[in-house]
Amino acid sequence: MKNFLLAGVLSAFSVMGAVGIMAPSKATGDSLPVGTIIAWGGPAASVPANWMLCNGKALSRTVYMELFAAIGASWGSAGDKFNLPDLRGRFLRGEDAGTGRDPDVRKRAPSCPGGSSMGVGSVQADSLQNHTHDQSPHSHYYSYFIAFPDIADTGSGLLVPGGSSSNFSTSADSATLRGAAQYGTKSRVTAGEESRPKNAAVNFIIKVK
């Protein structure tokens, strides 16, 4: 009988121990504060409970009071609604916070109407940094041909030839190019519609409850 009771007690403690081991794992996931943003490696249809896609959706301030208390109207707002972050197709960047690491911080803009124009929630368009190009002295040689119909001179009986060609050349000293520039050139190798690093797509999600 004593052995049976002892076995029962040990069995109970074993179960409690297993629960104690598993509980912290669950608590760790639940301990993330509302407003936390993480990268989700799954499709939009399988976002975990209490999380939402960072797609700019407008939510009720009263229904999602805790989330609104965490992120406020930084990502946009209108009336009694506020917006989730819209991180679709965007990279994330730490707020400058006076460090000077974002030299165009004053050119940032709200991600949605009513949102923050600087700091958390603000966005920037793509940009190419001002830079210089140094070129050594060189020359260019051009050749062209202009075609036009034969024209008879009835007075002299002469004909103007049906075409004319000419050559000319230009040269340039060392020059520097600075400022914004636009190029229409396309390449089959690495050129595209934007400047970007190598990347992989994920869904950014935010904890809402």
pLDDT (0 to 100) of residue 175? 46
Residue 24: pLDDT band (50, 70, 90) is: very low
Residue 160 vs residue 25, higher pLDDT? 160
- pLDDT tens-digit map of 140-161: 666 666 555 555 555 555 554 5
Cβ neighbours of residue 136 closer than 8 Å, sequence gap 6 or more: 174
Assigned CATH for 33-92+103-125+201-209: 3.90.1340.10
Closest by CA position to 136, among listed 187, 173, 181, 100: 173
pLDDT (0 to 100) of residue 27? 35
| Average pLDDT, integer, range 62-78 | 97
| Average pLDDT, integer, range 120-137 | 83
Cβ neighbours of residue 31 closer than 8 Å, sequence gap 6 or more: none
Contact indicator for 203, 53 with CB cutoff of 8 Å: yes
Residue 12: pLDDT band (50, 70, 90) is: very low
- pLDDT tens-digit map of 30-54: 689 999 999 999 999 999 999 999 9
Residue 181: pLDDT band (50, 70, 90) is: very low
- 183 pLDDT higher than 60: no
Residue 128 vs residue 55, higher pLDDT? 55
Q: Is the pTM of this model over 0.85?
A: no
Give percent above pLDDT 70 in the chain: 59
Mean predicted lDDT score pLDDT of the chain:
75
Amino acid, res. 26: K
82: exposed, middle or buried (C-beta count within 10 Å: 0-12, 13-18, 19+)? buried
Residue 101 vs residue 137, higher pLDDT? 101
Report domain extents, the chain: 1-31, 33-92+103-125+201-209
Residue 2 vs residue 199, higher pLDDT? 199
